[in-house]
């Protein structure tokens, strides 16, 4: 099975291996609160896929749960939109803050995942503009570091913010006061399945089925080849500010800030310096 189904893809009323996805997500939120507590006044979800984990986080932490963001039901899921620009527009149309709930509060914002970082950066900015005093982001999945070759829209390693940045760098990039992810062991444990029954390749780079060379394609130009299950994920070069070194150039940092401000992706590229993780 696919571990990311529990995070985002499956409906909450789906039953997998005798347990509902909703139950798994609530338990993941409890685990996240245990692993990464926060000093805050209110726990709010990023609706809708972040809601069960936010409920679990509130239950475990004792921090009150509330709805600080309202979803526009007529906007589709931003993660699966076909381009970065459309995703960004979708974020701004999709969620509206409840200012009377948010103003003056220290918030824990629970989301299901960070893939490209565009959603969280826009949300943190929106919540601060609505009057939040602090914004602590908690993610109910581990960092997504590797692309999926089995059908999920992780187009390339260069697009995955966690592939080029550590947790503290991501926190600074999205503008949060703190950031934490649930551990891969915590998420797997919440699923009530054995680790060897789940594909976790997007989190740990261990693919259960060897990826054919012709399928790898441009991925080989954006980082080291993925490893089959049982092999350690390969080391790779990072760039300060995000991105990965490629064989024929450099993968740029996330251009969201410039695009949201009406600029171009070129405007968002800081001076790039090669470093080792």
SS (H, E, C) the chain: CEHHHHHHHCCCCCEECCEEHHHHHHHHHHHHHHHCCCCCCEEEECCCCCHHHHHHHHHHHCCCECCCEEECCCCCCHHHCCCHHHHHHHHHHHEEECHHHHCCCEEEEEECCCCCCHHHHHHHHHHHHCCCCEEEEEECCCCCCCCCCCCCCCCCHHHCHHHHCCHHHHHHHHCCCEEEECCHHHHHHHHCCCHHHCECHHHHCEECCCCCHHHHHHHHHCCCCCEECCCCCCCCCEECCCCEEECCEECCCCCHHHHHCCCCHHHHCCCCCEECC
Task: Please tell me the predicted confidence (pLDDT) of residue 178.
Answer: 98
- pLDDT of 76 reads 54
pLDDT of residue 229: 53
| Domains in the chain, CATH or no CATH each | 3-232 (3.40.50.2020)
Residue ranges of the chain whose pLDDT lies below 70: 74-93, 154-155, 214-277
pTM of this structure = 0.75
């Amino acid at each position: 099975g696919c571990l990311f189904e529990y995070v985002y893809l499956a409906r909450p009323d789906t039953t997998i291996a005798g347990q509902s996805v909703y139950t798994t997500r609530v338990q993941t939120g409890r685990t996240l609160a245990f692993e990464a507590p926060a000093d805050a006044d209110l726990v709010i979800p990023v609706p809708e896929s972040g809601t069960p984990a936010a409920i679990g986080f509130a239950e475990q932490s004792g921090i009150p749960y509330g709805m600080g963001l309202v979803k526009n039901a007529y906007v589709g899921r931003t993660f699966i939109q076909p381009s970065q620009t459309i995703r960004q527009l979708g974020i701004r149309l999709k969620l509206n803050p409840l200012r009377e709930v948010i103003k003056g509060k220290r918030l824990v914002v629970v989301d299901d995942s960070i893939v490209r970082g565009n959603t969280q950066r826009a949300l943190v900015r929106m919540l601060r503009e609505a009057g939040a005093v602090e914004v602590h982001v908690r993610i109910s999945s581990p960092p997504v570091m590797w692309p999926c070759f089995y059908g999920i829209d992780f187009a390339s390693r260069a697009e995955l913010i966690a592939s080029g940045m550590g947790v503290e760098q991501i926190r600074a990039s999205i503008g949060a006061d703190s950031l934490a992810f649930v551990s891969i062991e915590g998420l797997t444990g919440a699923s009530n399945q054995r680790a060897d029954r789940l594909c976790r390749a997007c989190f740990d780079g261990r693919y259960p089925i060897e990826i054919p060379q012709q399928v790898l394609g441009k991925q080989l130009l954006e980082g080291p080849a993925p490893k089959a299950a049982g092999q350690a994920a390969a080391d790779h070069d990072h760039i300060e500010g995000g991105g990965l070194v490629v064989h024929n150039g450099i993968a740029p940092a996330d251009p969201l800030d410039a695009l949201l401000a009406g600029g171009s992706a070129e405007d968002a590229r800081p001076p790039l310096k090669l470093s080792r993780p």
